Amino acid sequence: MHLLAVLEYDGTDFQGFQSQKKGRTVQDELERTLREFLPQSERRAGRVKIVGGGRTDAGVHAYGQTATFDLDWTRDLETFRRAWNAKLPTDIFVRRVSKVPADFSARYSASSRVYQYRVWNQPERSVFHCRYAYWVAEPLDVSAMQAAAEHLLGKKDFAAFGSAPDGGSTVRDVTRVELHRDAGEIIFTLEANAFLYRMVRRIVGTLLLVGRGIISSQNIEDVIQRKRRAGFSVPPHGLTLMEIKYE
């Protein structure tokens, strides 16, 4: 049975989603627990291979990460989901599991991905926000940042903001860059067909320069054309993969 799982996780204690030689990863935890569903005779030799919809970096969280895999299962999928969650560590939770066509891929079948970055914009830090939001004490001009964000929309070369994981094209199609203030937080929402390595974090870092008044909203075009350097890459703990969309 070819299955699609939608899951959430707290990325604080992970070295990212994708399996690595060293360090704890989400993929390793998913595959380790899925092996427990194999028959006893196959557990040592058997391996369940997960394909993730997004390669979140170390410290990045997810609310709508996806994963596809094959598994023999004869009972209903809700029973499987509950049993899987019982085996997973507390910083990973499977929200949904559904059957999909054999050629469906969590990664390659995706039409777009949605990320959010949270900034705690108050004079003093907050114990209850510091794990999931980046603290910026000085006031930020949200209107100026939103005006700058409009320059990022469309199909463009975003090499100024990141690199392609496989060394390929750095052209991406960005369909949404929105900002809004929610109490003490400023929330950045970005959607694109795909993102470069650290692209979201460097876009947010550049927009924060606009919010501080260090550069103008018009300077974003210079950054895109690589006539001016992009802002710094903001810390990973404020970033969450919210959703992966499929046609």
Which tens digit of pLDDT belongs to each residue from 118-176?
999 999 999 989 899 999 999 999 999 999 999 999 999 999 999 987 778 999 999 99
- What per-residue confidence (pLDDT) applies to 48? 84
User: Which of 91-95, 161-165, 189-193 is predicted least confidently?
Assistant: 161-165
Pick the CATH number of 111-246 from 1.10.3720.10, 3.30.70.660, 3.40.50.150, 1.10.357.10: 3.30.70.660
Reply yes or no on domain 2-99 having CATH 3.30.70.580: yes
List, in sequence order, every residue forming a beta bridge with 244; answer none if it has no partner.
Answer: 113
pLDDT of residue 74: 86
Report pLDDT for 45: 61
CATH fold match for the domains 2-99 and 111-246: yes
166 CA to centre of own chain: 18
**H helical segments located in 141-195:** 142-149
51 has pLDDT over 80: yes
Mean pLDDT of 198-203: 96
Strand partners, 197: 163
Confirm if 77 and 98 have CB atoms less than 8 A apart: yes
Phi-psi region of 111 (alpha: psi -120 to 50; beta: other; left: phi over 0): alpha
Whether the per-residue pLDDT at 40 is higher than 80: the answer is no
Mean pLDDT across 5-25: 95
Identify the band that residue 39 occupies on the pLDDT scale cut at 50, 70 and 90.
confident
**Structural domain boundaries in the chain:** 2-99, 111-246
Given a cut of 70, is residue 1 above it in pLDDT? yes
162-173 in b/e form (b: 16+ CB < 10 A) is bebeeeeebebe
Q: Please list the residues that pair with 1 across neighbouring strands.
A: none
So which residues are the catalytic ones? Answer: 57
Contacts of 118 (CB under 8 A, 6+ apart): 129, 132, 133, 134, 185, 186, 187, 188, 238, 240
CA–CA dist 202, 233 (Å, integer) = 4
Average pLDDT of the chain to the nearest whole number: 94
